[in-house]
Structure 1
């Protein structure tokens, strides 16, 4: 898998409403005969409720990844073989899901049918759906030491809501992409912008977009227009609360900076900082940046390698810098996760394999694979010289070091909202950018529509 494909799996937008998966979903309950129920599934009583998980590490389990088998078969087969050697009598069957738009729907259906894989690679949306209905092992209860290897902010951010609305840990944070600024230094200099001093705030970045528009005069642009790439990421960086702490109410309209943000977006679109035909385009900045059409590229560090491989002339002009975080601090972004099914017939073995897969040694080894540009979530991995000892002024090396430094000191994380809620907000912002609504009205309407969806459970 090339870097761009993996990037898509990191940011995959699932188009299924979490409540549309059907009935029969419920939290775990237990009986007095050693068995418990999760939904319609009978499970071992030790998988649910209070008490640390115990049992022998032996027997067969199934491990599911998301679109990784083709390009990383050698690595994962090696991890599986090492685990089976360390635990005689175990057998791990590896399957690979394509990770397409029906990913959540398929996995919820598997959960309802009591066939969810024992160990499973999930994104935030799917983990949220499965946690809500009790289909993932509560790691905080079943293995209280789970948090130790991970960067504190990653562990803190890797919480999901159970059926009662309580925050629980049902996922191990696995790999992430990080965020940074990538830009064409030549275009910035023509606009009077110093590439060595990236802006410290989102509005400062917007002011630079405005300078690019005035300098380029339609020959190229600052960035792409579709706000889907920026909501809620920009708001997170500005510490605008998109939703309430319990996730049940939209709150972004309560912050006056949200209207200021929309006002900026509308002004930049009108001034020509963004291609007019990109307002509803699903294309991110990757291709237009590589073709010299926009000054700022993707915020994913994988993108730097993409440019190096596909457009050497633009790579030679590429600079990398700190993504502006306003007063918020360093963000973690949303990692991919590893979870253990609470319906597993062999949960002790599944939990042991999940911990083995996500330990510092295996995370570091995978992140060093030359075919991937990802970052680990364990503190020990980020201390490895591979991330810390970048030399020279090569953009790719600098990007790796910059993101590794960010992740070690991360203090914030990405807000997770459903695709339906995101789409409702984005559509109103697009109307404001087209001049069909005032920014104030667009923000008000966006919050109302988001709340309607949140009340419906999605």
Structure 2
């Protein structure tokens, strides 16, 4: 009887050991298949990146959403929460968000917005992440475009440039009796053609000869001023828009406005500028700015050439664009950089710029981009002599008073020379008090 009990106990122990071995419950194997789906394996942290981007045009927002979707598909633990804001409201809302500690992790910034605030310590220096990843995109960037986002040895943004060559409507040229294959080649011809191309009905201008914005209009003004070899502030940030060259230029612009060759418009109006709305025949505009127009009227009706020759034969084009930057206070800097790096991947940046009209900043995709449309060749050619805003904390003050001077001049509040000189003096006073 004792032997039978002992045998039963032995069998029970053997069965228990066998069952335990089969269950894997005591195994120390890290990849034990029995653990799959058990809920005990470590889970990736779910992260949400807040992403703000300026501009609400359908073409742009669709392209942005496409990149976000591809990024999320490849990074299932990261959600990118997009907020699209019109340019007119963007920087004010972004400034408020930073002041309240509610800033996005990643944001787009206009050219002037970054270079005027980069010294405030808001943005993440991307260099440590670029170096840690040994990111090949750094060597692929056009050097001057990469430098646009640098400040005191830091890389605070990566730029998608917009180059402003001269665009014109071939169909409007034909309608006005002008050769559609012979656009203006000098600064003087710009003003002559603008007069010939304006369209007036019942004493009212229904189509301007040239798209020069009369409110927030520093960009179209600067496109012309650069051809004369000047800028609206110097390398130290001091205003220079009261120079005689600038006064003479603005007087010619005001004369065009009074003659009906310029339609009143705001540079930042949500509905687009006159050229974008087929209400002007000439414009210094980027390919991204004209992307929707190409779709609506047909690319064959739009011509693209380098800016006309100005002083000393220069054909300097205005270069602006949108930077991608990250917040220094982001709780997810690694993921923020990962998203920015993904955005500037060769295939992604080619796809995005093809859809939106931005210029790809990577040398390796230039050939593919140029094949797509003739204006792309012109934009890259314009890069050989292009200038953006100089990095300066005084940019915002100078722009504020320049805008006031231009608006006062167009509205006839006071003579051009007086408006420019008085506002430049106010800019100097404010800059001095801020030091």
TM-score, normalised by the number of residues in structure 2: 0.70
Q: Closer, same or farther in 2 for the Cα pair 1:137/1:366, shift >3 Å?
A: same
Find the partner of 1:451 among 419, 428, 433: 428
Find the partner of 1:333 among 301, 319, 342: 319
**2:41 corresponds to:** none
Q: Kindly name which structure, 1 or 2, has the bigger radius of gyration based on alpha carbons.
A: 2
Partner Cα distance (1:215, 1:115) in 2: 50
Q: CA deviation at 1:59?
A: 8.1
Q: Closer, same or farther in 2 for the Cα pair 1:425/1:317, shift >3 Å?
A: same
Q: Does structure 1 retain, via aligned residues, the 8 Å contact 2:239–2:398?
A: no
Q: After TM superposition, where is structure 1 displaced by more than 6 Å over at least 4 residues in a row? A: 214-219, 279-282
Q: Does structure 2 retain, via aligned residues, the 8 Å contact 1:136–1:170?
A: yes
**2:239 corresponds to:** 250
Aligned ranges for residues 9-20 of structure 1 at < 5 Å?
none
Aligned ranges for residues 89-104 of structure 1 at < 5 Å?
91-100=77-86, 101-104=88-91
Q: Does structure 2 retain, via aligned residues, the 8 Å contact 1:231–1:422?
A: no
**1:412 corresponds to:** 387
Deviation string, structure 1 residues 213-267 (Cα, Å, up to 9, x no partner): 59999764312453415233332343312112243x212324x321220121132
Aligned ranges for residues 210-359 of structure 1 at < 5 Å?
210-212=195-197, 220-224=207-211, 226-227=213-214, 228=217, 229-247=219-237, 249-254=238-243, 256-275=244-263, 278=264, 289=275, 293-297=279-283, 299-311=285-297, 317-324=301-308, 326=310, 327-328=313-314, 331=317, 333-359=319-345
Partner Cα distance (1:183, 1:130) in 2: 34
Q: Secondary structure at the match of 2:173?
A: helix
RMSD, matched Cα: 4.0
Q: Does structure 2 retain, via aligned residues, the 8 Å contact 1:150–1:377?
A: yes
Q: Which has the higher helix share?
A: 2
Q: Closer, same or farther in 2 for the Cα pair 1:406/1:280, shift >3 Å?
A: closer
Q: Does structure 2 retain, via aligned residues, the 8 Å contact 1:330–1:411?
A: yes
Partner Cα distance (1:281, 1:62) in 2: 31
Q: CA deviation at 1:63?
A: 4.8
Q: CA deviation at 1:170?
A: 0.9
Q: Does structure 1 retain, via aligned residues, the 8 Å contact 2:49–2:78?
A: yes
Deviation string, structure 1 residues 246-303 (Cα, Å, up to 9, x no partner): 43x212324x32122012113223333234xx27797699675577653225623245
TM-score, normalised by the number of residues in structure 1: 0.67
Q: Closer, same or farther in 2 for the Cα pair 1:295/1:246, shift >3 Å?
A: same
Deviation string, structure 1 residues 339-377 (Cα, Å, up to 9, x no partner): 2322234434433442232232321132334xx333221
Partner Cα distance (2:428, 2:229) in 1: 20
Partner Cα distance (1:292, 1:356) in 2: 36
**1:150 corresponds to:** 141
Partner Cα distance (1:269, 1:400) in 2: 31
Q: CA deviation at 1:113?
A: 5.0
Q: Secondary structure at the match of 1:274?
A: coil
Q: Closer, same or farther in 2 for the Cα pair 1:231/1:363, shift >3 Å?
A: same
**1:367 corresponds to:** 353
- Runs of 5+ consecutive residues of structure 1 not aligned to the other structure: 1-56, 86-90, 161-165, 391-396
Q: Does structure 1 retain, via aligned residues, the 8 Å contact 2:71–2:339?
A: no
Q: Closer, same or farther in 2 for the Cα pair 1:108/1:294, shift >3 Å?
A: closer
Number of aligned positions between the proteins: 373
